[in-house]
Chains A and B, each alone.
Chain A
Amino acid sequence: MNAMNWLVVYPEALLLFSACVVALVDLYVTDERRRATFWLTQLSFAAVAALHWTFYDGGHTLYGMQKMVVADPMGHLLAFFATLAMMITVAYSQAYIGSRELQKGEFYTLSMFVLLGISVMVAANNFLMVYLGLELMSLSLYALVALRRDSGVATEAAMKYFVLGAMASGFLLYGMSMMYGATRSLEINEVFNAIGTGRINPTVLTFGVVFMVAGLAFKLGAVPFHMWVPDVYHGAPTAVTLLIGGAPKLAAFAITIRLLVEGMLGLAVDWQQMLVVLAVSSLVVGNLAAIAQTNLKRMLAYSTISQMGFMLLGLTAGVVGGNTLSAGNAYSSAMFYMVTYVLTTLGTFGLIMFLSRQGFESDEISDLAGLAKRSPWVAGVMSIFMFSLAGVPPMVGFYAKLAILQALVTTNVPAYVVLAVIAVVLSLIGAYYYLRVVKVMYFDEPANAMPPVQQGMGISALLAANGLAVLVFGLLPGGLMAMCRDAILKALAT
């Protein structure tokens, strides 16, 4: 049991190795041939994704590195999706950074380290591993936000992100140290068992939970720890916004499950209450603030806040009256929500980059005016994303919301049914600003100065495939839902 079991960390080892290779190779690549770095990165991602998929397919739960890491289906599935998300992100970004002289090797190397951080977080079985992965990911992201170093907005966003992010990491670490003090262990399973004995000082535990939830809420961008989200989404180059808004969300979800559910399910009564407050305030603030935005990236930032609030609702319905019967249902709904949300987000920001060019960011909502006339395909794909985020069937976003609502209502506790109604009412408000984007694209006349969209076939095809995926998963959501449920059930069983 205490063996190193190297097999478990094969994907991470491969990723670390190829990140170093990419960094080295890039030293000898001239600017004109930077595409080589791009393809090398994509190749490594593809290999890592294949490894994760193979392990996920195996369906086993293994521990490795002296039980520091765990390889279970949930971890591998999330890591697989994160890797896929990273591949798509890098593919969308390539033209964008290329035209802005940001196409340095750093972008690729740092992306790989972001993914490495994500993988470590997802596979963590120890508080320190969670923290290690989190810092690896966050530090790489801070650097990426500041990648356009001559831009004041980007630098400001990076500073804000760094300062607030460091504080959140501090919260998390402080909470972990309290848990360690109370339970004498950093290992997630042992913390779980220690809490289960019921002989731990509850005050220390509660404080520990509060600090950890605050740290997690920051990483997820839930109100009132959301202040960084709009500024960073807005200020960062769109490619980096996508890097932040995509794969890392899966990691944040994974550590939330690892810490709160696998480690502290015994304290669910405490953290569920906190999550309810976080979720409802995120839904309120996110949806209302998004209405007032004129900048598309800022609007999507607030929309992210509200979407995270919706997802968190799913995590609140796991333990009802001390009974964990509905846990699998609730957490798998949240996971499905997260995965489909990331899929949609990738497309949305990918599309903003697709429309932008040197000197024109295309990140104001009004920049989309009359898009349906200039390029009907792109407008169609964007409306699929918007309707999906608004939760209109038959897009996949509807089933994600349905799953969460179903998890809430089937608890048969009036308070949860009230939560479901609140969520429904607020998503109605949310529908307004998503619809407004469709309105701008379809109903408004294009401004004269708008040049026609010109981008490579490859990216167009990828965008179309992304939009189609949102639609197809909406028509046939069964498979993905079943995958999420199996993964969560196996994670809960251990």
Chain B
Amino acid sequence: MGLLSVSIWLPILFGCLLLALGRDDNPGMARWLALIGAIVSFAVTIPLITGFNLGTAAWQFEENKLWIERFNVFYHLGVDGISVWFVLLTAFITVVVVIAGWEVIKVRVHQYMGAFLILSGLMVGVFAAVDGLLFYVFFEATLIPMYIIIGVWGGPRRVYAAFKFFLYTLAGSLLMLVALIYLYYKSGGSFDINTWHKLPLGLPAQTLLFFAFFAAFSVKVPMWPVHTWLPDAHVEAPTGGSVVLAAIMLKLGAYGFLRFSMPIAPDASHQYAWFIIALSLIAVVYIGLVALVQQDMKKLVAYSSIAHMGFVTLGFFIFSEMGISGGLVQMISHGFVSGAMFLAIGVLYDRVHSRDIAAYGGVVNTMPKFAAFALFFTMANCGLPGTGGFVGEWMVILGTVKTSFWLAAVAATALIFGAAYSLWMYKRVYFGAVANDHVRDLTDINAREFLVMAVLAIATLWMGVYPKPFTDVMHTSVDALIKHTSVSKLK
């Protein structure tokens, strides 16, 4: 059994154990078991990065076994420079989520923790799958635990949000399923992604495939105008659910663009790049403005996520190394920063039970340590140099300038909007005089919360100051991807 298999199945195994052994009257056991599971699952992914060979764009840690003979489907796993960091990020965020939910979740703790561990394994599977059908199975299976998480532990409109989340994503991915089957047919009966990458396809076929994949991935990213499920899901989901949604699930869509759309349909991708770029810019500018007027903190951060993901898709579809690497760095740093932003909201919500910006004011007076962390992450969210948020956005803008100055100029306004909504929210929530009795009664973060925040802050800072380990790992694979997409598949 290879390292990737272990990374996928170990958390799932722990999750099943939790579901089987957990008792409602013994939440402590469930918490510790979940923590051990999450940490061990994270630990087994570390050799993936330490043993990673920077010199090759080929699959590493590859495993290949026949899975379904009838359809020639393989249990084919592997990571390259594009995906390897996301495996680690997923396992890492799961540890954070388990700790963050420690005392907050009081009902059905074992089910909550179990669902997150299973979800973690499934998401690692998405990033590690090299077989189209295997990818799809993992991609779809992630819906089940998330649906349950939002619906059971969510807010007042959780049922609506859970359904919207599930059906939106399913609608997109079913079209992708038809595309996968079409590719299976075209390639003479193979679900292997490598074969698909090399498969010559005419422009009409590429266009259809491109838009079928677009349907699946744009919903997941989410891109304007199919983003409306995300604010609902974020607002209603429990803190842990929001963190995983923002930090990892959105990345599944962006990752799909790199793994499927661009290499399989390079000509269509080039031809319709303007379309994606236009949608990305709308997300960056328009959604940035929408974020500005939000009353609800979670909604604000949700819209800011959409705007940040707009940067990612923009970076991908300008087809330069700088742009794609920038997009990838942005995905990882957004994983840390948005996760931390949602955790910060969770900290406040646990104490005051309100997410309204208006319900707060002067929190810095009662929670100084927490306010310091929150300031740091708010700065990272608007892309302050020295934080991870800056590196990705800067790389994307730099890449875009080479294509078109005006595109870059529009994209750069995001930094202004980002600063505006982030800092304005910070000002209203944290600064000023103590607004009401709830705020006066606030207690500062405890050791557990401090630990979570500190770990995320270190990661964000590390990405901002020294992003080389991240870009080095990506370099060869991104280079190979660009070379691949620059060759037309048309005769």
B58 in contact (CB, < 8 A): no
Extra contacts besides A392-B140, A421-B175, A481-B69 (14): CB < 8 Å: A372-B152, A392-B143, A392-B170, A393-B136, A402-B71, A402-B177, A409-B178, A424-B178, A431-B167, A431-B170, A435-B147, A435-B167, A476-B67, A485-B70
A420 in contact (CB, < 8 A): yes
Of A417, A442, A478, which contacts B151 at CB under 8 A?
A442
A398 in contact (CB, < 8 A): yes
Interface residues on B, range: 35 or more
A428 in contact (CB, < 8 A): yes
A127 in contact (CB, < 8 A): no
Return chain B residues, CB-CB under 8 Å to A36: none
CB pair A439–B163 under 8 Å, yes or no, is yes
A477 in contact (CB, < 8 A): yes
Known: A393-B140, A398-B140. A478 touches B181 (CB 8 A): no
CB pair A482–B70 under 8 Å, yes or no, is yes
Q: How many pairs, one residue from A and one from B, have CB atoms within 8 Å of each other in the complex? A: 98
Return chain A residues, CB-CB under 8 Å to B289: none
CB pair B178–A394 under 8 Å, yes or no, is no
Number of interface residues of A (CB under 8 A): 38
Return chain B residues, CB-CB under 8 Å to A373: 108
CB pair B181–A406 under 8 Å, yes or no, is yes
Of B147, B167, B175, B177, which contacts A438 at CB under 8 A?
B147
Expressed in whole angstroms, the Cα–Cα distance for A351 and B258 within the complex equals 44
Return chain A residues, CB-CB under 8 Å to B137: 393-394, 398
CB pair B166–A435 under 8 Å, yes or no, is yes
Of B69, B141, B181, which contacts A402 at CB under 8 A?
B181
CB pair B174–A424 under 8 Å, yes or no, is yes
Expressed in whole angstroms, the Cα–Cα distance for A214 and B136 within the complex equals 38
Could you mark each residue 130-142 of chain B with 1 if its beta carbon is under 8 Å from any beta carbon of chain A, else 0? Answer: 0001001100110
A412 in contact (CB, < 8 A): yes
Closest residue to B182 on the A side, CB-wise?
A409
B279 in contact (CB, < 8 A): no
Of A372, A380, A387, A481, which contacts B70 at CB under 8 A?
A481
Could you mark each residue 179-204 of chain B with 1 if its beta carbon is under 8 Å from any beta carbon of chain A, else 0? Answer: 00110110000000000000000000
Give A202-236 interface residues, CB cut-off 8 Å to B.
Answer: none
CB pair A420–B178 under 8 Å, yes or no, is yes
Closest residue to B133 on the A side, CB-wise?
A402
B144 in contact (CB, < 8 A): yes
Return chain B residues, CB-CB under 8 Å to A478: 66-70
Return chain B residues, CB-CB under 8 Å to A425: 174
Give A409-461 interface residues, CB cut-off 8 Å to B.
Answer: 409-410, 412, 417, 420-421, 424-425, 427-428, 431-432, 435, 438-439, 442-443
Most chain B CB within 10 A, of A372, A373, A428, A432, is at A428
Expressed in whole angstroms, the Cα–Cα distance for A439 and B164 within the complex equals 12
CB pair A431–B166 under 8 Å, yes or no, is yes
Return chain A residues, CB-CB under 8 Å to B182: 409, 417
Return chain A residues, CB-CB under 8 Å to B175: 421, 424
CB pair A439–B151 under 8 Å, yes or no, is yes
Known: A392-B143, A394-B141, A482-B69. A409 touches B185 (CB 8 A): yes
Return chain A residues, CB-CB under 8 Å to B19: 376, 380
Expressed in whole angstroms, the Cα–Cα distance for A402 and B152 within the complex equals 30
Expressed in whole angstroms, the Cα–Cα distance for A287 and B158 within the complex equals 25
A121 in contact (CB, < 8 A): no
Return chain A residues, CB-CB under 8 Å to B158: 443
Name A residues whose Cβ lies closer than 8 Å to a Cβ of B: 372-373, 376, 380, 383, 387, 392-394, 398-399, 402-403, 405-406, 409-410, 412, 417, 420-421, 424-425, 427-428, 431-432, 435, 438-439, 442-443, 476-478, 481-482, 485
Name B residues whose Cβ lies closer than 8 Å to a Cβ of A: 19, 66-71, 108, 111, 133, 136-137, 140-141, 143-144, 147-148, 151-152, 158-159, 162-163, 166-167, 170-171, 174-175, 177-178, 181-182, 184-185
Known: A392-B141, A406-B184. A428 touches B152 (CB 8 A): no
CB pair B181–A409 under 8 Å, yes or no, is yes
Expressed in whole angstroms, the Cα–Cα distance for A114 and B147 within the complex equals 41
Closest residue to A420 on the B side, CB-wise?
B178
Return chain A residues, CB-CB under 8 Å to B148: 438, 442
Return chain A residues, CB-CB under 8 Å to B151: 439, 442-443
User: How far does the Cβ of A155 sit from chain B's closest Cβ, in whole Å?
Assistant: 39
Return chain B residues, CB-CB under 8 Å to A427: 174
Return chain A residues, CB-CB under 8 Å to B71: 402-403, 406, 481
Closest residue to A376 on the B side, CB-wise?
B111
CB pair A432–B163 under 8 Å, yes or no, is yes
User: How far does the Cβ of B110 sit from chain A's closest Cβ, in whole Å?
Assistant: 9
Most chain B CB within 10 A, of A376, A420, A443, A482, is at A443
- Residue pairs across A and B with Cβ atoms less than 8 A apart, 22 shown, are A372-B108, A376-B111, A392-B144, A393-B136, A393-B141, A402-B177, A406-B184, A417-B182, A428-B167, A428-B174, A431-B166, A442-B152, A443-B158, A443-B159, A477-B68, A478-B66, A478-B67, A478-B68, A478-B70, A481-B69, A481-B70, A485-B70
Expressed in whole angstroms, the Cα–Cα distance for A485 and B174 within the complex equals 25
Expressed in whole angstroms, the Cα–Cα distance for A78 and B329 within the complex equals 55
Return chain B residues, CB-CB under 8 Å to A403: 70-71
Most chain A CB within 10 A, of B19, B147, B175, is at B147
CB pair B178–A421 under 8 Å, yes or no, is yes
Return chain B residues, CB-CB under 8 Å to A424: 174-175, 177-178
CB pair B141–A435 under 8 Å, yes or no, is no
Expressed in whole angstroms, the Cα–Cα distance for A478 and B70 within the complex equals 6
Return chain B residues, CB-CB under 8 Å to A409: 178, 181-182, 184-185
Expressed in whole angstroms, the Cα–Cα distance for A405 and B136 within the complex equals 15
Return chain A residues, CB-CB under 8 Å to B170: 392, 428, 431
Expressed in whole angstroms, the Cα–Cα distance for A427 and B174 within the complex equals 9
User: How far does the Cβ of B440 sit from chain A's closest Cβ, in whole Å?
Assistant: 35
CB pair B68–A481 under 8 Å, yes or no, is yes
Expressed in whole angstroms, the Cα–Cα distance for A247 and B255 within the complex equals 44
Return chain A residues, CB-CB under 8 Å to B133: 402
Return chain B residues, CB-CB under 8 Å to A410: 181, 184-185
CB pair B178–A405 under 8 Å, yes or no, is yes
Expressed in whole angstroms, the Cα–Cα distance for A420 and B185 within the complex equals 14
Of B140, B141, B147, B177, which contacts A405 at CB under 8 A?
B177
3 interchain residue pairs of minimum CB distance: A481-B70, A393-B137, A443-B151
Closest residue to A431 on the B side, CB-wise?
B170
User: How far does the Cβ of B185 sit from chain A's closest Cβ, in whole Å?
Assistant: 4
Expressed in whole angstroms, the Cα–Cα distance for A482 and B19 within the complex equals 33
Expressed in whole angstroms, the Cα–Cα distance for A427 and B111 within the complex equals 28
Expressed in whole angstroms, the Cα–Cα distance for A424 and B172 within the complex equals 11
Expressed in whole angstroms, the Cα–Cα distance for A412 and B183 within the complex equals 11
Of A372, A428, A443, which contacts B171 at CB under 8 A?
A428
Expressed in whole angstroms, the Cα–Cα distance for A67 and B209 within the complex equals 51
Closest residue to A444 on the B side, CB-wise?
B159
CB pair A439–B181 under 8 Å, yes or no, is no
Expressed in whole angstroms, the Cα–Cα distance for A428 and B148 within the complex equals 18
User: How far does the Cβ of B231 sit from chain A's closest Cβ, in whole Å?
Assistant: 20
Return chain B residues, CB-CB under 8 Å to A482: 69-70
Expressed in whole angstroms, the Cα–Cα distance for A126 and B70 within the complex equals 32
